[in-house]
Each structure stands twice: as structure tokens, then as C-alpha cells.
């Protein structure tokens, strides 16, 4: 199964097996109806060209859901509509071992930076609706603790407000800060846990690792319960800027100013 998916991602014209697979995958679509098998690849495209991005990324939608819009009640994270720089950073992180999910790494380990960036841009450009959130999975007091941490942080414990970087609407900031909404609770728990243990790493300085280490297991549980239960406002589009400088410097995020005290 994974080998089939990996075939989709090879440069298609040098891999006839992959072309056949893509053709197979497309037969269900109206696009497949007009083109005989002998049509040269460069023919004017009445169909999706075999090498096109939408055929390549069939390998991804197997797990990430149709068009990358995974539902909020499984484990797979949605990728549609997330900031392009963030998605590209993650693909590099999986390929280069800073994040670990062996099946995904296997799919992309042979791909170049440019190819990964093109896929990131493809998914970032998708503007697709979000489903309503699942019902809250924690008691009101826990949800309130989560809301407080996300919106206000906890100065006494050196935890900055999550919204200070992820944006007031929590939909992230272009091009490199992801939103926090529309994600499964299990996925959120797992990511914060992975940062605590060093299994997930970002480019240095890894601000999220520092923040995750300040969170207790109860904090993580409260934050994930509250976040997972929030509806996604305004189509989930990432903001263009933050209203104030970020409270800490984060690797891979070059575009947003950092508060003077944290910039050193």
C-alpha cells in the first residue's frame, strides 16, 4: 500500500508504473474519459496532466483525507489551508528526522526541497470549509483552565499566551505559524507530548519545545480539550501579521518581529 503511494510521488514520466497507477486512480473521475492511453504526455490537457500536483498528492490524501481536510475526530491532522511555510517546514522535518511518522517519512524521504515546497504550496492554497468541532470532551472547569492558558498564558510559570503567536483567532499567521483549531484532540496531545520528550523538534530555537516543557500533563489535557472544541472562525485563514511582537524567537519563523527582551 505505502509502496503504491510512494509510486505516485516519483517524477511520473520516468516511472511508467506510477503513471498507470495514477491513470487507475483517475478512472473514477470525469477527467479520465477522453484521453486514449497513447496520448503523449505533452498533449493539451483536457485531463489533469499525469504529473500534476493533484495526482501526486493522491498519495497524501489517503491519510490526510479528501483534499487534505482530515476530520477533527480521527488522528490525522488537516493540512489544507495551513500556511505554506509551516507545511514546508514540517515536510522537511519529517524527511530530515526532526519529526517521526515512519510511513510518511518513507513516502517523502527521496523528494527534494523544491518538490516538498511545491506540495506545501498546493495544500496551503486550498480554501475549504471546516466542519463544526466535536462536542467538548472535558468538564467545564477543565475547559476554562485550557481557555485561560491559551488566551492568557501563565506569567508566574513562564508560559506565554498561545494566541500571542498563533493569533487571536488561533488560525495561525502566514507563512510559518500554524493555527491551533480544527485539529483532533489526540493529535494536539501527542504533539505537545512529543515536544516535551524531544520526539518532535522544530528549527532552532525551538520555542514550542520550551513552552511544552512548561506545561504539566493537566495543562496539556486542558488546552487540547478546549482547543479541539472551538469552532474555526473566518474560514480558518491564517492572519497576515500579529498585532504585537512574538514573546519568544522561533526557528523557521523569520517574518514576525520578536519582543526585544526575547530577541537576544
Cβ-in-10-Å burial (0-12, 13-18, 19+) of 102 comes to: exposed
Considering beta carbons, is residue 30 or 246 the nearer one to ligand HEC? Answer: 246
Q: Is 77 in the site for ligand HEC (CB under 6 A)?
A: yes
Rank residues 39 and 76 by Cβ distance to ligand HEC and give the closer one. 76
Rule CB under 6 A: is residue 99 a binding residue for ligand HEC? yes
Position among 103, 158, 197, 241 found at the interface with ligand HEC (CB under 6 A): 103
For ligand HEC, the binding residue among 47, 55, 89, 145 (CB under 6 A) is: 89
**Residue 191 or 221 having the CB closest to ligand HEC:** 191
Number of residues that bind ligand HEC (CB under 6 A): 51
Q: Is 239 in the site for ligand HEC (CB under 6 A)?
A: no
62 binds ligand HEC (CB under 6 A): yes
Question: How far is CA 105 from each of CA 56, 95, 99, 120, 132, rounded to the nearest angstrom?
Answer: 16, 5, 9, 15, 30
Give the span between the Cα atoms of 7 and 183, in whole angstroms: 28
Instruction: By CB under 6 A, name the one of 21, 26, 165, 225 that touches ligand HEC.
Output: 165
Q: How far is the CB of 38 from ligand HEC (least distance, A)?
A: 29
What residues have CB less than 8 Å from 258, skipping those under 6 apart?
245, 246, 247, 248, 249
Cell of 217: 500533563
Does position 181 bind ligand HEC by CB under 6 A? no
CB under 6 A: which stretch of 20-28, 42-50, 60-68, 126-134 binds ligand HEC? 60-68
**C-alpha cell, 117:** 515546497
CA angle 111/119/3 to nearest 5° reads 50
Site string for ligand HEC, 198-217 (x = CB under 6 A): ----x----xx--x------
Q: What are phi and psi of 173, to 5 degrees?
A: -140, 135
106-129 as b/e, with b when 16 or more CB fall inside 10 Å?
ebbeebeeeebbbbbebbbeeeee
Collapse the DSSP code of 235 into the 3-class scheme (helix H, G, I; strand E, B; otherwise coil) and give the result: helix
Q: Which residues of the chain form contacts with ligand HEC (CB under 6 A)?
A: 5, 9, 57, 59-60, 62-64, 75-77, 79, 86-87, 89-91, 99, 101, 103-104, 107-108, 119, 149-150, 159-160, 162, 164-166, 177-178, 180, 183, 188, 190-192, 202, 207-208, 211, 223, 246-248, 250, 252-253
Amino acid at each position: 500500500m505505502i509502496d503504491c503511494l510512494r509510486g505516485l510521488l516519483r517524477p511520473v514520466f520516468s516511472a511508467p508504473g506510477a503513471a498507470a497507477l495514477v491513470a487507475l486512480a483517475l478512472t473514477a473521475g470525469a477527467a479520465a474519459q477522453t484521453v486514449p492511453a497513447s496520448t503523449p504526455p505533452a498533449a493539451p490537457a483536457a485531463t489533469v496532466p499525469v504529473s500534476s500536483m493533484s495526482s501526486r498528492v493522491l498519495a497524501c490524501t489517503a491519510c490526510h483525507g479528501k483534499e487534505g481536510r482530515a476530520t477533527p475526530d480521527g488522528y490525522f491532522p488537516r493540512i489544507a489551508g495551513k500556511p505554506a511555510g509551516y507545511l514546508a517546514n514540517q515536510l522537511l522535518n519529517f524527511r530530515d528526522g526532526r519529526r517521526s511518522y515512519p510511513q510518511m517519512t518513507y513516502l517523502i524521504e527521496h523528494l527534494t526541497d523544491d518538490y516538498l515546497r511545491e506540495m506545501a504550496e498546493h495544500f496551503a492554497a486550498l480554501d475549504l470549509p471546516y466542519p463544526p468541532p466535536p462536542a467538548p470532551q472535558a468538564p467545564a472547569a477543565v475547559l476554562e483552565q485550557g481557555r485561560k492558558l491559551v488566551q492568557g498564558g501563565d506569567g508566574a510559570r513562564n508560559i506565554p499566551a498561545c494566541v500571542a503567536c498563533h493569533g487571536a483567532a488561533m488560525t495561525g499567521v502566514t507563512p510559518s505559524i500554524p493555527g491551533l483549531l480544527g485539529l483532533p484532540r489526540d493529535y494536539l496531545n501527542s504533539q505537545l507530548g512529543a515536544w516535551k520528550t524531544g520526539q518532535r523538534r522544530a528549527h532552532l530555537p525551538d520555542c514550542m519545545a520550551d513552552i511544552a516543557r512548561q506545561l504539566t500533563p493537566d495543562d496539556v489535557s486542558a488546552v487540547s480539550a478546549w482547543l479541539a472544541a472551538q469552532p474555526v472562525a473566518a474560514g480558518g485563514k491564517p492572519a497576515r501579521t500579529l498585532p504585537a511582537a512574538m514573546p519568544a524567537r522561533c526557528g523557521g519563523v523569520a517574518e514576525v518581529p520578536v519582543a526585544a527582551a526575547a530577541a537576544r
